[in-house]
Structure 1
Amino acid sequence: MLTYLADAATKAQQLAYDPGISPSEGGLPGLSVLKSTVGSINLFAIIAVVGALCVSGIVWAWGHHTGSHGSEQKGKQGALVAAGCALLLGAANGIVSFFSTVGTSVH
Protein backbone atom coordinates (compact mmCIF):
# COMPACT_ATOMS: atom_id res chain seq x y z
CA MET A 1 0.00 0.00 0.00
CA LEU A 2 2.82 2.40 0.88
CA THR A 3 4.68 1.71 -2.38
CA TYR A 4 1.43 2.24 -4.31
CA LEU A 5 1.06 5.71 -2.75
CA ALA A 6 4.70 6.51 -3.47
CA ASP A 7 4.26 5.43 -7.10
CA ALA A 8 1.06 7.48 -7.39
CA ALA A 9 2.83 10.54 -5.92
CA THR A 10 5.73 10.10 -8.34
CA LYS A 11 3.35 9.82 -11.30
CA ALA A 12 1.39 12.87 -10.15
CA GLN A 13 4.61 14.84 -9.85
CA GLN A 14 5.75 13.60 -13.26
CA LEU A 15 2.40 14.51 -14.85
CA ALA A 16 2.52 17.98 -13.34
CA TYR A 17 6.02 18.46 -14.69
CA ASP A 18 5.80 16.78 -18.10
CA PRO A 19 2.45 16.21 -19.79
CA GLY A 20 4.14 14.09 -22.48
CA ILE A 21 3.04 16.23 -25.42
CA SER A 22 5.58 17.07 -28.08
CA PRO A 23 5.23 18.69 -31.51
CA SER A 24 4.77 16.29 -34.41
CA GLU A 25 4.97 17.09 -38.10
CA GLY A 26 2.30 14.70 -39.33
CA GLY A 27 -0.60 16.02 -37.24
CA LEU A 28 -2.36 18.42 -39.59
CA PRO A 29 -2.71 18.67 -43.34
CA GLY A 30 -1.18 21.68 -45.04
CA LEU A 31 1.90 21.94 -42.83
CA SER A 32 4.23 22.17 -45.83
CA VAL A 33 2.10 25.00 -47.26
CA LEU A 34 2.24 26.84 -43.93
CA LYS A 35 6.02 26.43 -43.71
CA SER A 36 6.40 27.70 -47.27
CA THR A 37 4.13 30.69 -46.57
CA VAL A 38 6.00 31.68 -43.41
CA GLY A 39 9.32 31.31 -45.24
CA SER A 40 8.05 33.59 -48.02
CA ILE A 41 6.83 36.18 -45.50
CA ASN A 42 10.26 36.05 -43.85
CA LEU A 43 11.94 36.63 -47.22
CA PHE A 44 9.70 39.62 -47.99
CA ALA A 45 10.40 41.05 -44.53
CA ILE A 46 14.16 40.71 -45.04
CA ILE A 47 13.90 42.47 -48.41
CA ALA A 48 11.86 45.27 -46.78
CA VAL A 49 14.50 45.61 -44.04
CA VAL A 50 17.24 45.96 -46.66
CA GLY A 51 15.21 48.74 -48.30
CA ALA A 52 14.63 50.43 -44.95
CA LEU A 53 18.35 50.26 -44.19
CA CYS A 54 19.17 51.86 -47.54
CA VAL A 55 16.63 54.67 -47.02
CA SER A 56 17.87 55.24 -43.46
CA GLY A 57 21.44 55.47 -44.70
CA ILE A 58 20.43 58.03 -47.30
CA VAL A 59 18.52 60.11 -44.70
CA TRP A 60 21.48 59.88 -42.32
CA ALA A 61 23.93 61.06 -45.01
CA TRP A 62 21.60 63.80 -46.26
CA GLY A 63 21.05 65.08 -42.74
CA HIS A 64 24.78 65.08 -42.04
CA HIS A 65 25.74 66.94 -45.20
CA THR A 66 22.94 69.53 -44.99
CA GLY A 67 23.43 70.21 -41.31
CA SER A 68 19.97 68.94 -40.39
CA HIS A 69 20.71 67.28 -37.08
CA GLY A 70 17.11 66.03 -36.72
CA SER A 71 17.26 64.20 -40.05
CA GLU A 72 20.67 62.82 -39.21
CA GLN A 73 19.36 61.48 -35.90
CA LYS A 74 16.29 59.94 -37.54
CA GLY A 75 18.54 58.28 -40.13
CA LYS A 76 20.66 56.79 -37.34
CA GLN A 77 17.57 55.57 -35.54
CA GLY A 78 16.21 54.02 -38.71
CA ALA A 79 19.50 52.24 -39.38
CA LEU A 80 19.58 50.82 -35.86
CA VAL A 81 15.95 49.68 -36.04
CA ALA A 82 16.51 48.08 -39.45
CA ALA A 83 19.63 46.30 -38.19
CA GLY A 84 17.71 45.04 -35.14
CA CYS A 85 14.87 43.80 -37.33
CA ALA A 86 17.34 42.02 -39.62
CA LEU A 87 18.92 40.39 -36.59
CA LEU A 88 15.55 39.18 -35.29
CA LEU A 89 14.39 37.93 -38.68
CA GLY A 90 17.61 36.03 -39.24
CA ALA A 91 17.60 34.54 -35.76
CA ALA A 92 13.86 33.80 -35.51
CA ASN A 93 14.26 30.05 -36.09
CA GLY A 94 17.01 29.73 -33.51
CA ILE A 95 15.18 31.86 -30.93
CA VAL A 96 11.97 29.85 -31.20
CA SER A 97 13.89 26.57 -31.16
CA PHE A 98 15.85 27.60 -28.06
CA PHE A 99 12.87 28.80 -26.05
CA SER A 100 10.67 25.87 -27.07
CA THR A 101 13.15 23.49 -25.45
CA VAL A 102 13.88 25.49 -22.28
CA GLY A 103 12.92 23.50 -19.21
CA THR A 104 12.20 20.24 -21.01
CA SER A 105 15.20 18.28 -19.79
CA VAL A 106 14.65 16.32 -16.59
CA HIS A 107 17.59 16.12 -14.19
Structure 2
Amino acid sequence: MNTLTFLTETAPVLSTLLPMQIDIDPNSSGLPGINQLRTIVGAVMTVGLILSVLALIVSAIVWGFGANSSNPHLAGRGKVGVLVSCGAAIICGASVTLINFFWTVGQSV
Protein backbone atom coordinates (compact mmCIF):
# COMPACT_ATOMS: atom_id res chain seq x y z
CA MET A 1 0.00 0.00 0.00
CA ASN A 2 1.48 3.33 -0.98
CA THR A 3 1.30 6.51 1.04
CA LEU A 4 -1.36 8.22 -1.08
CA THR A 5 -3.75 5.28 -0.75
CA PHE A 6 -3.18 5.17 3.01
CA LEU A 7 -3.92 8.90 3.39
CA THR A 8 -7.08 8.81 1.30
CA GLU A 9 -8.41 5.81 3.23
CA THR A 10 -7.62 7.19 6.70
CA ALA A 11 -8.69 10.81 6.10
CA PRO A 12 -12.41 10.21 6.85
CA VAL A 13 -11.50 8.34 10.04
CA LEU A 14 -9.14 11.08 11.23
CA SER A 15 -11.67 13.82 10.53
CA THR A 16 -14.18 12.14 12.83
CA LEU A 17 -11.57 11.69 15.59
CA LEU A 18 -10.06 15.18 15.54
CA PRO A 19 -12.23 18.14 16.52
CA MET A 20 -12.55 20.79 13.86
CA GLN A 21 -13.54 23.76 15.99
CA ILE A 22 -13.09 24.31 19.70
CA ASP A 23 -14.99 27.19 21.28
CA ILE A 24 -14.21 27.67 24.94
CA ASP A 25 -14.95 30.92 26.71
CA PRO A 26 -14.30 31.93 30.32
CA ASN A 27 -17.06 30.68 32.59
CA SER A 28 -17.87 32.92 35.53
CA SER A 29 -20.13 30.36 37.20
CA GLY A 30 -18.12 27.18 36.69
CA LEU A 31 -16.43 27.07 40.08
CA PRO A 32 -17.63 28.10 43.51
CA GLY A 33 -15.98 31.19 44.93
CA ILE A 34 -15.46 33.11 41.68
CA ASN A 35 -17.36 36.15 42.98
CA GLN A 36 -15.33 36.13 46.20
CA LEU A 37 -12.14 35.88 44.16
CA ARG A 38 -13.17 38.92 42.14
CA THR A 39 -13.79 40.79 45.39
CA ILE A 40 -10.36 39.79 46.69
CA VAL A 41 -8.62 40.86 43.47
CA GLY A 42 -10.42 44.22 43.57
CA ALA A 43 -9.34 44.71 47.18
CA VAL A 44 -5.72 43.86 46.30
CA MET A 45 -5.85 46.41 43.46
CA THR A 46 -7.11 49.02 45.92
CA VAL A 47 -4.33 48.21 48.38
CA GLY A 48 -1.79 48.45 45.55
CA LEU A 49 -3.04 51.88 44.56
CA ILE A 50 -3.02 53.10 48.16
CA LEU A 51 0.54 51.82 48.64
CA SER A 52 1.56 53.53 45.39
CA VAL A 53 0.27 56.84 46.73
CA LEU A 54 2.12 56.28 50.00
CA ALA A 55 5.33 55.44 48.12
CA LEU A 56 4.92 58.57 46.01
CA ILE A 57 4.57 60.76 49.09
CA VAL A 58 7.57 59.19 50.84
CA SER A 59 9.69 59.37 47.67
CA ALA A 60 8.81 63.03 47.14
CA ILE A 61 9.84 63.78 50.74
CA VAL A 62 13.14 61.91 50.27
CA TRP A 63 13.73 63.77 47.00
CA GLY A 64 13.07 67.08 48.73
CA PHE A 65 15.38 66.32 51.65
CA GLY A 66 18.09 65.16 49.28
CA ALA A 67 17.82 68.26 47.11
CA ASN A 68 17.79 70.67 50.06
CA SER A 69 20.66 68.98 51.90
CA SER A 70 22.89 68.84 48.81
CA ASN A 71 22.86 65.07 48.87
CA PRO A 72 22.64 63.95 45.21
CA HIS A 73 22.44 60.25 46.12
CA LEU A 74 19.39 60.81 48.32
CA ALA A 75 17.78 63.07 45.73
CA GLY A 76 18.38 60.46 43.02
CA ARG A 77 16.84 57.73 45.15
CA GLY A 78 13.80 59.96 45.70
CA LYS A 79 13.44 60.54 41.95
CA VAL A 80 13.63 56.83 41.25
CA GLY A 81 11.06 56.19 43.97
CA VAL A 82 8.67 58.71 42.39
CA LEU A 83 9.00 57.05 39.00
CA VAL A 84 8.59 53.54 40.41
CA SER A 85 5.52 54.49 42.43
CA CYS A 86 3.93 56.15 39.40
CA GLY A 87 4.72 53.08 37.30
CA ALA A 88 3.18 50.80 39.93
CA ALA A 89 0.02 52.93 39.96
CA ILE A 90 -0.18 52.78 36.16
CA ILE A 91 0.15 49.00 36.18
CA CYS A 92 -2.40 48.58 38.99
CA GLY A 93 -4.87 50.86 37.25
CA ALA A 94 -4.40 49.39 33.80
CA SER A 95 -4.12 45.73 34.78
CA VAL A 96 -7.67 44.77 33.79
CA THR A 97 -7.39 46.62 30.48
CA LEU A 98 -4.01 45.02 29.75
CA ILE A 99 -5.30 41.53 30.49
CA ASN A 100 -8.39 42.09 28.33
CA PHE A 101 -6.20 43.40 25.50
CA PHE A 102 -3.88 40.40 25.55
CA TRP A 103 -6.86 38.03 25.91
CA THR A 104 -8.28 39.53 22.70
CA VAL A 105 -4.90 39.23 20.97
CA GLY A 106 -4.65 35.60 22.09
CA GLN A 107 -8.12 34.84 20.75
CA SER A 108 -7.19 36.17 17.31
CA VAL A 109 -4.09 33.96 16.95
TM over 0.5: yes
Q: Distance in 2 between matches of 1:84 and 1:14?
A: 43
Unaligned ranges ≥5, structure 2: 1-7
Which sits farther off after the overlay, 96-105 or 45-54? 96-105
**What SS does the aligned partner of 1:102 have?**
helix
Give CA-to-partner distance per residue, 1:64-107, whole Å, 9 cap, x none. Answer: 0100000000000000000000000000000000101114237x
RMSD between aligned residues: 2.7
- Residue of 79, 82, 89 corresponding to 2:82: 79
Per-residue CA deviation, residues 36-79 of structure 1 (Å, 9 max, x unaligned), is: 01100110111011000000000001100100000000000000
One-letter amino acid of the structure 1 residue matched with residue 33 of structure 2:
G
Q: 1:37 aligns with which of 40, 45, 48?
A: 40
Question: What letter matches 2:61 in structure 1?
Answer: I
Q: Which 5+ residue runs of structure 1 have no aligned equivalent?
A: none
Q: Could you tell me the TM-score, scaled by structure 1's length? A: 0.81
Task: Tell me the TM-score normalised to structure 2 length.
Answer: 0.80
- Give the direction of change, closer, same or farther, for the CA distance of 1:32–1:103 in structure 2 (3 Å limit): closer
Amino acid at match of 2:85: A
Residue identity over aligned pairs, in percent, reads 36
Residue 65 of structure 2 aligns with which residue? 62
Q: Where do 1:1-107 residues align within 5 Å?
A: 5=11, 8=15, 14-15=20-21, 19-105=22-108
State the number of aligned residues.
102
Q: Distance in 1 between matches of 2:19 and 2:76?
A: 55
Distance 2:46 2:106 in 1: 31
In 2: Cα distance, 1:45 partner to 1:96 partner: 17
Q: How far apart, in 1, do the equivalents of 2:20 and 2:83 lie?
A: 46
